[in-house]
Amino acid sequence: MSAFQNDIIPSTGPEFYRELCGSLQGLISQEPDPIAQMANACALLFHHIPKLNWLGFYLIKGETLVVGPFQGKPACTRIKLGRGVCGTVAQTCKTIVVKDVHEFEGHIACDAASRSEIVLPLMSLNGKLWGVLDCDSPQVDRFTKEDEQGLEEVRQVLEKSISLN
List residues binding ligand SME (CB under 6 A). Answer: 54, 75-76, 79, 84-86, 107-108, 110, 114, 117, 134, 136
Q: How far is the CB of 93 from ligand SME (least distance, A)?
A: 15
User: Cα-atom radius of gyration of the chain, to the nearest Å?
Assistant: 15
CA distances from 49 to 20, 110, 118, 136 (A): 9, 20, 13, 11
Q: How far is the CB of 15 from ligand SME (least distance, A)?
A: 29
Please, are residues 37 and 162 in contact by the beta-carbon 8 Å criterion?
A: yes
- Answer whether 120's CB lies under 8 Å from 128's CB: no
At its nearest, how many Å lie between ligand SME and the CB of residue 137?
Answer: 11
Residue whose Cβ sits closest to ligand SME: 84
The number of residues in the chain equals 165
Q: What is the DSSP letter of 101?
A: G
Q: Which is nearer to ligand SME, 16 or 151 (CB)?
A: 151
Shortest reach from residue 87's CB to ligand SME, in Å:
6
Q: Which is nearer to ligand SME, 43 or 108 (CB)?
A: 108
